[in-house]
Amino acid sequence: MQEIFSGGDLNFEPGNGLSNKRYFRFMISIRRPRIEQFRNLFLLVFLVLVVTIISTPLLVKRGFSFFEEETWEAILLLAQVSLAWNIFRLYEKAVATREEEIKKLEGEYQKREKELLEAFTYLGKINVQISLIKDFMKKIKTPKDRGEMKKYLDDILHMAITISRKDWMTVRIINTENMQTVAEHRANSSKSKENNFKIGNREMMEMARNKDLCSKRNLCVLPSAGSKPYEEKAFLVFEEKKTVDREILDFLKAAVNQCEVIHTLYVLGHGKK
Q: In this predicted model, what pLDDT tens digit does every residue of 166-225 receive, in sequence order? A: 888 999 999 888 888 888 888 888 766 666 778 888 888 888 777 767 776 778 888 888
**CA atoms of 191 and 44, how far apart (whole Å):** 81
Question: DSSP labels for 152-194?
Answer: HHHHHHHHHHHHHT-SEEEEEEEETTTTEEEEEEEEE-TTSPP
pLDDT at 175: 87
Does the pLDDT of residue 110 top 90, yes or no? Answer: yes
pTM score of the predicted model: 0.53
In the prediction, which pLDDT does 66 show? 58
Round to whole Å and give the CA distance between 103 and 216. Answer: 46
Instruction: Return the domain boundaries, the chain.
Output: 8-113, 140-270
pLDDT at residue 122 greater than cutoff 70: yes
Residue 7: pLDDT band (50, 70, 90) is very low
- DSSP reduced 3-state for 151: helix
pLDDT on residue 104: 92
Please give the class, per CATH, of domain 140-270: alpha beta
The backbone torsions φ and ψ at residue 169, rounded to the nearest 5 degrees and listed phi first, read: -150, 150
Task: Cite the beta strand spans of the chain per DSSP E.
Answer: 168-175, 180-188, 219-223, 232-239
Provide the pLDDT for residue 244: 73
Would you say how long the chain is, in residues? 273
- The pLDDT tens digits for 32-90 are 556 677 677 777 777 777 777 677 666 666 666 555 667 767 777 777 777 777 777 77
Nearest to 183 by CA among 152, 159, 206, 211: 152
CA separation, residue 10 to residues 5, 6, 17, 26, 113 (Å): 5, 7, 10, 9, 41
